[in-house]
């Protein structure tokens, strides 16, 4: 399987994760308001499974080092499979809440609040389990991210359109962030500690990712069915509408969203051996800044904001950038 040996390369993969995690939700925007997000989300989850399978059969099976994807899946211990699967189940409900928050409040608030909170929780949880990196730099960077979240929430509250959706959007974002902070630990707990000499029973990154996506897809029948029939906004959706109203283009947009997110997650898991799970997860969740940039500069979600909001947004981006720089430096000292 494909293995990396350099921290610098690992950081590069984490930046790819950041870009992917911060950009996949644009496909939800492209699908449009007439295509309910629970129906979009079925295609997204299909895209996750397909992408993880393709990556496992290609990157996870090439070369002579480590353990190949199919051989790894065959030897996996039941407890390790359950851990990765549970990670997918927890992620799924959290991600559905993120998508619901985007639907209600927009990218520029849903991602900074939900994913920023997830970054804080996830870094702490993963560092306690695998303490790699200087704690002062790591948690100092996390503190700046918290400050950026608060500044972003303040900027969003100034929008005229936010008055009716602030409470609901923020509640959904906070719930999503709390759950999102824990899913990565379940996946990390299932994985081998050394990719070149993998322990028996444990999973390589590619196998852990595939089992994780199965957890997402199968739990969709519970979590996503709830959102279909009890939507946070708009009217309810049905399974019949998925087949009768969805064009091939709409289905491909959702699958593309899953492909983008899954590729980013796989890069994060590959990088974890060199960077450590806390730093790998923390850098990936810099997606908050990427998503906020999409919301501000491309989707113009703050175009009606009052004077002075731009300074708050500038402060938010500055805090995120410095915080992420400190997280990167935590492994170098």
Per-residue pLDDT of the chain (333 residues; tens, 9 = 90+): 999 999 999 999 999 999 998 898 899 889 988 898 899 999 999 999 999 999 999 999 998 889 999 999 999 999 999 999 999 999 999 988 987 887 777 666 676 778 778 878 988 898 998 898 999 999 999 899 888 878 877 887 787 765 555 577 778 888 998 998 999 999 999 999 999 999 999 999 999 999 999 999 999 999 999 989 988 777 899 999 999 999 999 999 999 999 999 999 999 999 999 999 888 988 887 777 787 788 888 888 788 889 889 999 999 889 988 988 898 899 887
Locate tokens 């997606």: which residue?
287
Torsion of CA 77, 79, 85, 89, to 10 degrees: 180
Locate tokens 């602030």: which residue?
166
Strand partners, 15: none
Contact between 296 and 29 (Cβ < 8 Å): no
Tell me the C-alpha distance between 312 and 275, whole Å.
32
Q: b/e for 49-65, b at 16 or more Cβ within 10 A?
A: bbbbbebbeebbbeeee
Work out the burial of residue 74: count CB atoms within 10 Å of its CB; fewer than 13 is exposed, 13-18 middle, 19 or more buried.
Answer: exposed
Q: Judge if pTM exceeds 0.85.
A: yes
Tell me the C-alpha distance between 333 and 331, whole Å.
6
Within 8 A by CB and 6+ apart from 131, the residues are 278
- And the tokens for 189? 């707990």
């Amino acid at each position: 399987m494909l293995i990396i040996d350099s921290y610098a390369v690992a950081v590069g993969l984490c930046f790819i994760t950041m870009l992917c995690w911060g950009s996949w939700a644009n496909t939800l925007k492209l699908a449009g308001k007439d295509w309910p997000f629970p129906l979009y989300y079925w295609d997204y989850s299909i895209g996750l499974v397909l992408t993880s399978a393709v990556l496992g059969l290609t990157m996870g099976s090439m070369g002579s080092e480590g353990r190949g994807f199919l051989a790894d899946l065959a030897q996996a211990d039941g407890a390790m499979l359950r851990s990765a699967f549970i990670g997918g189940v927890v992620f799924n409900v959290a991600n559905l809440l993120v998508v619901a928050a985007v639907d209600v409040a927009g990218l520029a608030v849903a991602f900074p609040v939900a994913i920023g909170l997830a970054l804080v929780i996830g870094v702490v949880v993963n560092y306690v389990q695998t303490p790699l990196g200087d704690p002062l730099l790591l948690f100092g960077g996390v503190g700046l991210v918290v400050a950026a979240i608060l500044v972003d929430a303040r900027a969003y509250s100034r929008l005229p359109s936010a008055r009716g959706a602030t409470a609901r959007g923020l509640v959904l974002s906070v719930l999503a962030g709390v759950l999102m902070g824990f899913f990565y630990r379940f996946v990390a707990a299932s994985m081998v500690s050394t990719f070149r000499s993998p322990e028996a029973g444990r999973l390589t990154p590619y196998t852990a990712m595939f089992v994780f996506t199965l957890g997402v897809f199968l739990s969709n029948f519970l979590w996503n069915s709830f959102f279909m029939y009890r939507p946070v906004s708009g009217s309810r959706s049905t399974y019949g509408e998925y087949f009768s109203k969805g064009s091939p283009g709409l289905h491909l947009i959702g699958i593309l969203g899953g492909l983008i997110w899954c590729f980013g997650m796989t890069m994060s898991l590959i990088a974890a051996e060199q960077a450590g799970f806390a730093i790998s997860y923390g850098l990936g969740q810099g997606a908050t800044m990427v998503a906020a940039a999409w919301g501000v500069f491309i989707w113009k979600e703050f175009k009606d904001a009052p004077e002075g909001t731009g300074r708050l947004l500038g402060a938010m981006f500055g805090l995120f950038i410095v915080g992420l720089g400190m997280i990167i430096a935590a492994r170098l000292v």
